[in-house]
Amino acid sequence: MAAEKQKIGILTLYYKNYNLGGALQAYALQKAIAELDETDTCEQICLALPKDVPAGQENSTAAQLLSKCLRKVQRMVLRYRLKERIARYRSFLEAIPHSVAVYAHDDVQQSNALYDVFVVGSDQVWADWLPAPALQAYSLDFVETTKKRVAYAASFANTSLSDKQKKMLAHGIKCMDYISVREKTARNMVNELCERQACQVVDPVFLIPADAWAKLPFKERIPNEQYALCYFLGTNTKQRIKAKRIAHAKNLKVINIAGADPYHPCKLERRYSDRDNYKAGPADFVQLIAHASLVLTDSFHAVAFSVIFERDFLVFKRFSDNDEKSMNSRIENLLEDFGLTAQLVGEEGIDSTPADFSMVRSRLEEKRMESVQFLRKALL
């Protein structure tokens, strides 16, 4: 007797997400789940994020309102300048199967009528920076008890729990059928939050092999000369100067992709590269990493794709070690998992030894198989 067909809904940072890594992990998880069983259907649930107004800031001062207006004007100018990049983002995201309806946090429970299984993840779906109502939705506490609830490679983004996270996440996560997280540190955080055990799995981008990623249709021209690809999400100018020096010392041209979203302060990039790229969408990002001689970055997913394509890379810390909001642990965990901690650039300097991927291949395949096995157990 054939297994009954299921409809699976994925809840992640998908809807209007102009973050390269966020868009690619959403694509990867949907594709990986769809390939588990062709009889099932799987799609992203479009969830619009609400705005969180900090306590005591409901009424803005004149200075705050002026600052807000200036930022809005700046974003409008940048949006016009980066319209091709935004178009590529939208085209990529639209191609991922997704819900017709766009839900808000207060009506997402209506999706219970459409899906048999709910999966939350991957990426920073449990991060403190999210508005409280969104955090609660990402705990899947709106899902009916008759439906299966699964977390795949969910991330808290840092290593400690805020009061907001404890309040918004504890009940929903405790009631989940299967829980997996992306970082080792997150396993202890789940246990602290709700006394549940979580498995550690890989980010969804690792579930797709390099040859499949290489087939993504892209629009950007790949340079004929050898180049170093720079992709920074932070605004540390010293790191950009150091990155350019490293690349030029290796006789590599510096190609720079502007930061995480269409409104990134692009003027930061101009002085620290030989060629700026403001048009690259998610597929272009993958291809530019795949063909780079060196990747210089502070981004988790730039590191992930460097590992997938076995490209030499160096990674910079976006946050200082004593920053309470630091997200460095995400990359540090990734480097530790694959034995690549030597690629982390410290304050004292760098080790110019190329990344050694000889041990990474078998370790990645082992982790990939364990992660797929988790999905099979949870969903089939």
pLDDT tens digits, one per residue of 204-261: 999 999 999 999 988 888 889 999 999 998 878 888 889 999 999 999 999 998 765 4
State which CATH number among 3.40.50, 1.10.760, 1.25.40, 3.40.462 fits the domain covering 7-51+61-207+366-379: 3.40.50
Q: For residue 131, what pLDDT is reported?
A: 93
Question: What's the confidence (pLDDT) of residue 82?
Answer: 74
Q: What is the pLDDT of residue 190?
A: 96
Q: In terms of Cα–Cα distance, which of 12, 36, 34 is closest to 24?
A: 12
Q: Residue ranges of the chain with pLDDT lower than 50?
A: 1-2, 52-59, 261-263
- E strands of 204-352, at which residues? 227-231, 253-257, 275-277, 294-297, 313-316, 344-345
Q: Return the beta strands (E) in 136-271 as ranges.
A: 148-154, 178-181, 199-200, 227-231, 253-257
Query: 211-359: what fold?
Result: Rossmann fold (3.40.50)
Q: How high is the pLDDT of residue 285?
A: 95
CA distance 136 to 11: 12
Name the residue among 120, 157, 160, 122 with its Cα closest to residue 139: 120
Please state the domain extents for the chain. 7-51+61-207+366-379, 211-359
Environment class of residue 363 by beta-carbon count within 10 Å: exposed (0-12), middle (13-18) or buried (19+)? middle
- Which of 347, 342, 338, 208 lies closest to 286, judged by CA? 208
Task: Give residue 57's pLDDT.
Answer: 41
Listed residue (26, 11, 374, 361) closest to 201, CA to CA:
374
Sheet with 313-316, side-by-side order of all strands? 275-277, 253-257, 227-231, 294-297, 313-316, 344-345
Which pLDDT belongs to residue 231? 92
pTM above 0.85, yes or no: yes
DSSP state for residue 349 in the 8-state scheme: B
Token pair for 134: 């969104």
Predicted local distance difference test score (pLDDT) of residue 263: 46
Q: Which helix (H) or strand (E) holds 101?
A: strand 98-103
Q: For 171-192, how does the pLDDT look when each residue is reduced to its tens digit (9 = 90+)?
A: 999 999 999 999 999 999 999 9
Q: Where are the alpha helices (DSSP H) in 250-359?
A: 267-270, 282-290, 300-309, 328-337
Looking at residue 315, its pLDDT comes to: 93
Check if the beta carbon of residue 289 is closer than 8 Å to that of residue 311.
yes
Taking the CA atoms of the chain, what radius of gyration do you get in angstroms? 21
pLDDT in the model for residue 325: 61
Residue closest to 304 by CA, chosen among 122, 160, 177, 141: 122
Strands in 130-260 per DSSP E: 148-154, 178-181, 199-200, 227-231, 253-257
- pLDDT score at 51: 66
CB-count burial class (<10 Å; 0-12, 13-18, 19+) for 272: buried
Domains 7-51+61-207+366-379 and 211-359 share a fold: yes
Q: Can you say how many angstroms the Cα of residue 135 is from the centroid of all Cα atoms in its chain?
A: 16
8 Å CB contact between 257 and 275? no
